[in-house]
């Protein structure tokens, strides 16, 4: 059980690093390339559903790992830290989408046609 918990924390940590890399890249695009114009920094249609689904799985995995590694202080700390960082990433992407800093491709096309 501890090996599985450790593997889940490691996998969630790697995916969390990838997620934060995407957040930094998207912020760079938004502020650098697009000069803060809302509605032009886009990802594929349906990507937000995938992001939310994967983050829910990551959260469940870290909760399982937290339970599996509860006896170890370092296991509790690492599980909680990875879960917290992934949760912040999830919240960041949600806020970026709600504020127009990151939109789906269909929203981008509507923005370019002036329909938004």
Residue 10 pLDDT greater than 90, yes or no: yes
pLDDT over threshold 90, residue 114: no
Query: How many domains is the chain partitioned into structurally?
Result: 1
Burial class (CB in 10 A: 0-12, 13-18, 19+), 50: exposed
Mean pLDDT of the chain: 91
DSSP single-letter state for residue 19: H
Residue 116 above 70 pLDDT?
Answer: no
pLDDT band at 20 (very low <50, low <70, confident <90, very high): very high
pLDDT confidence of 96, banded at 50, 70, 90? Answer: very high
Q: What is the pLDDT of residues 46-84, one digit of tens each?
A: 889 998 999 999 999 999 999 999 999 999 999 999 999
For residue 66, give its domain range: 2-112
The two structure tokens encoding residue 100: 């127009």
pTM of the complete model: 0.85
How does pLDDT run across 82-95, given as a tens digit for each residue?
999 999 999 999 99
């Amino acid at each position: 059980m501890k090996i599985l918990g450790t593997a889940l924390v490691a996998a969630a940590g790697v995916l969390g690093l990838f997620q934060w890399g995407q957040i930094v890249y998207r912020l760079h695009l938004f502020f650098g390339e697009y000069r803060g114009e809302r509605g032009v920094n886009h990802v594929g249609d349906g990507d937000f559903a995938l992001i939310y689904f994967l983050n829910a799985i990551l959260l469940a995995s870290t909760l399982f790992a937290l339970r599996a590694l509860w006896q170890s202080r370092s296991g509790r700390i690492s599980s909680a830290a990875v879960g917290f960082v992934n949760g912040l990433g999830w919240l960041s992407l949600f806020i970026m989408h709600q504020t127009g800093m990151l939109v789906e491709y269909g929203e981008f096309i509507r923005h370019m046609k002036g329909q938004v």
